Amino acid sequence: MTVQKFDIVVLGGGPGGYVAAIRSAQLGYKTAVIERENLGGICLNWGCIPTKALLRSAEVFHNMKHAADYGLVAKELGFDLDKVVKRSRGIAAQLSGGIAHLMKKNKITVIDGEGKLVKPGLLTVSKDGKKIADVQATDIILATGARARELPHLKADGNLIWTYRHALVPNVMPKKLLVIGSGAIGIEFASFYNELGADVTVVEMLDRVLPVEDEEISAFALKSFKSQGLKIITSASVTKLDKKKNTVVCTIEDNKGKTQAIEVDRVILAVGITGNVENIGLEENGIKVDRGHIVADEWGHTGIKGVHAIGDLTGPPWLAHKASHEGVIVIEKIARDKGHKEIKDLHPIDKGNIPGCTYCRPQVASVGLTEKAAIDKGHKVRVGRFPFMANGKAIALGEAEGLVKTVFDAKTGELLGAHMVGAEVTEMIQGYTIARTLETTEAELMHTVFPHPTLSEMMHEAVLDAYGKALHF
Amino acid sequence: MAIEIFMPALSPTMETGTLANWLVKEGDTVESGTMLAEIETDKATMEYESIDEGVVGKLYVADGAENVAVGTLIAVLLEEGEDASALNSISNVKAAPAVVKEETVAVSVAPVAVAAPKGGRIFSSPLARRIAAQKDINIADVPGTGPRGRVIKRDVERFTKPVAVAAVASLEGDAPFEEIKLSNMRKTIARRLTESKQTVPHFYLGVDIELDNLLAARKELNSLSDDYKISVNDFIIRACALALQAVPEANVQFGGDVMRHYSRSDVSVAVAIPGGLITPVIRGAEQKGLRQISEEIKMLAKKAREGKLMPEDYTGGTFSISNLGMMGIRQFQAVINPPQAAILAAGSGEARVVIKGGEMTPATVMSVNLACDHRAIDGAVGAKFLGAIKTFLEHPSTMLL
């Protein structure tokens, strides 16, 4: 049994944890990461990246189906599910290996096992139930992430009822699929399996799909999903899953108490996320947990000296880019408190400025306040819109379905929010995020020259439209 | 060869000073002994006299320049036969800080805006600039909290505009006030006494002292000659000086890992002067008679009020006395003057009824309070020391022993 000593130890090697470790090592601290499974965490192994690989297969398949629209001939269309999944797994493995290389390059010790906080400054690591090491560090960053939430009547079995983990590595292509929850995770899987030919029903408890998005965008997406054959039931919940031999009978109850039953091959649970707060020594050390997540301040401090927490473990939004950003901030804060000379300009994350992306077809991306939220907050707003069907590049791409929407404060010209649905909008949202971070007004956005022909011209037009100056619509 | 004149070090610890006033101007002829300038250190204003003769060729520092580092070139004297071209050979002109006149700034609200340097680029977001313009706020007045101090929306929204200087007097809102720049003395008082109260563990001992014998002795002494006028305070100074000898454990200073024991009683006496106070020192007061003490303290107090004390007049001292008795204060507690270990706070002598042999008797009584640094002086030592002071004052003839 060894006692290993470090300056900073990160518990969890996901996009929050490994980024924190790299920043820590860059600042000259002796650093270790404790990871029980794969470097890169859920994001890289079971989330963001492998789903994007699957969705790319679905997109290419979609284009193949529509080859004739482009004057192309594609015959004997089909797919090999095993190979689609294998590609996705291969990409995850490749990137996880890349993280291992980054750890090595930055001289970060990676400890393979499950870590648990014994007391501030001390962790114990075990592997297969056997204690393998004591690890000491002045500062400990908890970054154990989160997992799919299960409900008492909605539990995954990995066979008929899946979480995202099972849905990423299907052993069979379901003919009929029920997706419970229409947030980003639910909708992405619904989109993927629908594209490959499954008969997909999505049940959403709230009154619209993608409920965190702007209402107009949400309605636009709903229309598009329906045109693709997705069945969407909103304002309803699944009250019972009755497992048969190879099927599940699902009881769906709407908000008026009316029930219906549908029989499907597989069910995907996407009813939310809960933090991995168990068995890491939180209660023993008096670290506050609220509704499945650690309570931490804007700098990631838990209130216990030398113990910090970042990423999904600390609550929504459950996004890799939020976790990574917090990983850098928590380390720089620690460094600044130690008097590190390099840290001169440190600011906590502005949660109002974290973009959100969903990679269904059509894609959805947004940052800032929705139109309704802006009005509810008392803003007098100016709203601009520009449709994909009026953009040359979108038409040339054969992607004329979509909308870019901007919400400005009528008085100050502050860009309160931006909301997009359509092809490649996830690649464009950063433009508006930068605008918000720099606090530009409509004037600077109007003065910006956007390249032609690009989809991004719609971002310009949506700003112009908010002030009645749109040129091409 | 032109003569360079540098900012002098007027005390061993002086690092910078304020050039309060030039007493000469360019073109003036000076002789050895001519007063060139008044230079203000943290405690005193001193005249700086020339040791050479010549014509003032150039003054490099303006009246009122603060924080002029010791050794900075402040003036050049031209010797006989030299003209202004000799100034060209002067190359080591150190940059002296710009003149900062004591100015009063009317502001109405905290926090006081930290204005950007005049003419410098102000980093601000377009949104912050627009909101500032809408609220008629000068963006330069707004302290920035964004990346690298950039002024962002939040800063403008939090900012409250200073009320214009010429605003009509109004009883609404915050009470109007003026801010006056601190003098060096005020800064020193603030720094040293804050340090004292925060780092020195004070404890306080109080005792009442009957002064009737002392007052009789004083009356007798003063009636014998017009050459001197002994005050009660002169008795207190001598009593303390002798008590420090009688209880040498109280004549100490705490020095971190050592304790310093003094053999001489150097008594600092607090003197109120315009804008603050200063503590000139009667050195070796135990060896000085009442008359000498009286004369010295009068001379030092006069110099103090004129701002003419030299550093050796007010530095050092092994013990302090602060007397507010003449201002009608009955009793008070004083803040120790670091690095000293004790200070006596003397109140006024007043007629009180005391019980003597079971009988109510009138007496003139003075309440005094001794503040001690507990790191250096324990309660019993402090009590013994205060007891010695009491005995000397109640039986002034013992001061003759």
Catalytic member of A66, A101, A153, A452: A452
Last residue of a domain, one of B130, B162, B180: B180
Cβ contacts of residue B30 below 8 Å, gap of 6+? B24, B36, B50, B52, B53, B54, B55, B56, B77
Q: Is residue B255 part of a domain?
A: yes
pLDDT of residue B380: 96
Per-residue model confidence as pLDDT tens digits over A302-316: 999 999 999 999 999
* Residues B224 and B331 reside in one and the same domain: yes
* Residues B199 and B160 reside in one and the same domain: no
Q: Is residue B97 part of a domain?
A: no
Testing the interface with A: which of B130, B153, B154 to mutate, by most A Cβ within 10 A?
A: B130
Q: Is residue B395 part of a domain?
A: yes
Nearest 5°: CA angle at A320, between A231 and A344? 150
Rounded distance, CA B55 to CA B5, Å? 12
Strands B3-6, A199-203: pairing is unpaired
Instruction: Go through B230-261 and write b for each residue having 16 or more CB atoms within 10 A of its CB, e for each that does not.
Output: bbbbbbbbbbbbbbbbbbebbbbbbeeeeeee
Domains observed in chain A: 2-147+274-337 (3.50.50.60), 161-271 (3.50.50.60), 362-466 (3.30.390.30)
* Residues B194 and B323 reside in one and the same domain: yes
Work out the angle between the directed axes of helices A184-195 and A48-65 (0-180°, nearest 10): 40
Domain with B57, as residue range(s), is: 3-89
ipTM of the complex in this document? 0.82
Cβ contacts of residue B8 below 8 Å, gap of 6+? B39, B48, B70
CB contact under 8 A, B148 and A413: no
**Strand blocks (E) in A219-269:** 231-233, 236-243, 248-254, 259-264, 266-269
Work out the angle between the directed axes of helices A320-337 and A17-26 (0-180°, nearest 10): 30
* Residues B85 and B120 reside in one and the same domain: no
Count: domains in chain B: 3
Nearest-CA distance from A440 to chain B in Å? 5
pTM for the complete prediction? 0.61
* Residues B166 and B206 reside in one and the same domain: no
Task: Report the CATH number that the domain containing residue B263 is assigned in CATH.
Answer: 3.30.559.10
Per-residue model confidence as pLDDT tens digits over A452-470: 999 999 999 999 999 999 9
* A447–chain B Cβ distance below 8 A for any pair: no
Last residue of a domain, one of B49, B65, B89: B89
* Residues B229 and B342 reside in one and the same domain: yes
* Residues B169 and B192 reside in one and the same domain: no
Testing the interface with B: which of A343, A438, A439, A448 to mutate, by most B Cβ within 10 A?
A: A439
Work out the angle between the directed axes of helices B290-305 and B232-246 (0-180°, nearest 10): 110
Nearest-CA distance from B152 to chain A in Å? 7
Q: Is residue B98 part of a domain?
A: no
Last residue of a domain, one of B155, B180, B205: B180
Spell out which residues of chain A touch residue B125, defining contact as CB-CB under 8 Å: 438-440
A452 classed as catalytic = yes
* Residues B158 and B189 reside in one and the same domain: no
Task: Report the CATH number that the domain containing residue B37 is assigned in CATH.
Answer: 2.40.50.100
Nearest-CA distance from A291 to chain B in Å? 31
pLDDT of residue B99: 41
Rounded distance, CA A36 to CA A21, Å? 16
Task: Report the CATH number that the domain containing residue B152 is assigned in CATH.
Answer: 4.10.320.10
> B144 — alpha (psi -120 to 50), left (phi > 0) or beta?
beta
* Residues B125 and B197 reside in one and the same domain: no
- Tens of pLDDT along chain B (401 residues) come to 778 888 887 776 677 888 888 888 888 888 877 888 888 877 677 778 887 888 888 888 888 888 888 888 888 888 877 777 777 766 544 444 444 333 333 333 333 334 444 457 889 999 999 999 999 899 988 988 888 889 999 999 988 876 555 555 556 677 778 778 888 888 888 988 999 999 999 999 999 999 999 999 999 999 998 888 999 999 999 999 999 999 999 999 998 889 999 999 999 999 888 878 889 999 999 999 999 999 999 999 888 888 788 888 888 899 999 999 888 899 999 999 989 999 999 999 999 999 988 899 999 999 999 999 999 999 999 999 999 999 999 999 998 88
* Residues B310 and B351 reside in one and the same domain: yes
* A442–chain B Cβ distance below 8 A for any pair: no
* A443–chain B Cβ distance below 8 A for any pair: yes
* Residues B199 and B171 reside in one and the same domain: no
Give the containing element (helix H, strand E) for A142. Answer: strand A130-142
* Residues B255 and B325 reside in one and the same domain: yes
